[in-house]
Structure 1
Amino acid sequence: MRQLAEDAGLSYGVLRSWAMGRRTPTAENLSRMAEGFDHRAERLQRIAGELRDAAKHRA
């Protein structure tokens, strides 16, 4: 959750308060969170590609 907050440019405390139901995110913050997920997905796809390349070189 901390990494997602960082990726989205939000504070961990804000993200945690949403998760606990204490606050409701604005439309702008939902968009920022979506961008954070996009950023994380791109990073994971890059890592997956690197792992596949490494596996090919070991075979």
Structure 2
Amino acid sequence: IRDPEQVNNVAQRAADEFGGIDILINNAGLYGGLGYKRWDNWSSAIPTAGLLTRAR
């Protein structure tokens, strides 16, 4: 879910198989508690959310 090409491929496959995407639920994130204290945790979360929240 961090690779733009794979995100586009999944969207195209869903459109081809089901005729489109009517509803999209953003349910991506990192496993763990809310106590993000390390920068690498944040830097991992940001690209994931960024790709999945772009609606076209």
| TM exceeding 0.5 | no
Interval of TM-score (by shorter of Structure 1 and Structure 2): 0.3 to 0.5
Higher relative contact order (Cα pairs below 8 Å, separated by 6+ residues): 2
Between structure 1 and structure 2, the one with the greater Rg is 1
Q: Give TM-score scaled by structure 1 length.
A: 0.39
Q: Which has the higher helix share?
A: 1
